[in-house]
């Protein structure tokens, strides 16, 4: 995976918490998506994607989030994004109305 992003995961009260740090852009979006997909467990009804440490998200990254939400929906899993208010990523989500499609929380629920 590109050095631009790090992806780690842990279990949290029956949910799968996936944390992404760094930048998500066209150069690494495929690797980031593959890593996230590999960390998601089918038995988790909720997948929390923590983007608190994500410093940049371009249109390729937005597309990845839409695809991830759709894929999880097919498996009857819910996606929740964690993005602090005022962060650059939060602004992108609001401008594109992704926050109207996917649940967005300020902190890890």
The structural domains of the chain, with segments of one domain joined by +, span 5-105
Fold that domain 5-105 belongs to in CATH: Transcription Regulator spoIIAA (3.30.750)
pLDDT at residue 21 is higher than 50: yes
- The β-bridge partners of 53 are 21
Question: Does this model's pTM top 0.85?
Answer: yes
The dihedrals phi and psi of 70, each to the nearest 5 degrees, come to -65, -45
pLDDT in tens, 28-55: 999 999 999 999 999 999 999 999 999 9
Question: Tokens at residue 106, please?
Answer: 């300020």
pLDDT at residue 4 is higher than 90: no
């Amino acid at each position: 995976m590109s050095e631009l992003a790090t992806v780690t995961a842990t279990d949290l009260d029956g949910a799968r918490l996936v944390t992404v740090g760094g930048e998500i852009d066209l150069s690494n979006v495929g690797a980031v998506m593959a890593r996230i997909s590999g960390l998601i467990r089918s038995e988790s009804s909720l997948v929390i994607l923590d983007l608190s440490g994500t410093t940049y998200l371009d249109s390729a990254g937005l597309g990845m989030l839409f695809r991830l939400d759709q894929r999880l929906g097919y498996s009857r899993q819910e996606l929740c994004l964690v993005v602090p208010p005022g962060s650059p990523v939060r602004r992108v989500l609001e401008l594109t109305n992704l926050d109207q499609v996917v649940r967005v929380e300020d902190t890890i629920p």
